[in-house]
Amino acid sequence: MNNKKLRAELTMWLQILLGLLLCATGYNMFIIPNEIAPGGFTGIAQLVNHVTGLPIGMLTLALNVPLFALSAKSLGLKFGIRSLFASVGLSVMIDILPIPSVIPMDTTERLLLASLFGGVVAGAGFGLIIRGNATTGGSDMLAKLINTHFHSVSIGMVMFAVDGMVILASAFVFDIVSALFALICTFLMSQVIDFLVDGLNSSRAYFIISAESDAIARRVMDEMERGITGLHGRGMYSGEDKQVLLCVISRTESPRLRSIVAECDPAAFIIAANVHEVLGEGFRPIYKR
């Protein structure tokens, strides 16, 4: 393993470890003490814990073990090892880390703060774990497993069903107020996860149609040190052959690219599209799971 791959592997493990710490903090400090069950296997474990008193981490792990056994072949060795570590690590941290609750359940305002901060902190943790190319198991792994055998059942449908049933059940195990705050927590958690997984990697793809495509491409490569690809196109109205430039850049580089195009050809036609993930040279490297 060369130094570049070693650094990348260490970075993934650091993200997983930090993510586990944030997840455990979000649950132990805000979510669990305030009886907020934001879906997933941890939410199921919270409900069972309320009835039986069994440790939440141990219950979560017990639910995940069969999933890992059934999904072992499809996970891949490295991804499977990281995910198993993340699943066991989260369960252990939830049960043993001495993280006190800073917002004990008392008033509606405190429940709101607990659902907001719990959703953001735990969501950031799960997002970092996913960025570390791992998963903690739970409803997303169950959804993928069901989808593999029943293609007509979408992953989103299974996850929505599991989370929905957990939140609905929390209305009976805890109360309706806890269920409503669980909805808020679940929504925030998903938004933070999406932001960390996709938002930080978001780029913009530019399609440029211009009579000065050669000059534009040369300046982009020389001044911005970005690759640019020429695609063959044809104007259906004029019947003329045209060269369409494709360039993927970060958001912060967008003004510079537009400036170059405007200087070379003010009459150029530009199409910009948001890109949520770019892998390869100049962006995030491509790694096997």
Q: Which burial class, exposed, middle or buried, applies to 20 when counting CB atoms under 10 A from its CB (0-12, 13-18, 19+)?
A: buried
Mean pLDDT for 2-22 is: 88
CATH 3.30.70.120 fits 202-275, yes or no: yes
State the pLDDT confidence band at 83, using cuts at 50, 70 and 90. Answer: confident
pLDDT band at 105 (very low <50, low <70, confident <90, very high): low
Mean pLDDT, residues 221-240: 87
45 band by pLDDT with thresholds 50, 70 and 90: very high
Domain ranges of the chain: 3-197, 202-275
pLDDT of residue 263: 92
Q: How do residues 112-161 score in pLDDT, each as one tens digit?
A: 999 999 999 999 999 898 888 888 888 877 876 776 677 777 665 777 78
Give the count of beta carbons closer than 10 Å to the beta carbon of residue 150.
10
Six token digits for residue 24:
């455990």
**Cα 157 from Cα 100, distance rounded (Å):** 35
pLDDT of residue 190: 85
Q: How confident is the model at residue 201 (pLDDT cuts 50, 70, 90)?
A: low
106 or 180: which carries more pLDDT confidence? 180
pLDDT, residue 1, reads 57
Q: Find which of 90-94, 159-163, 238-242 is predicted with most confidence, using mean pLDDT.
A: 90-94
Share of the chain above pLDDT 70, in %: 89
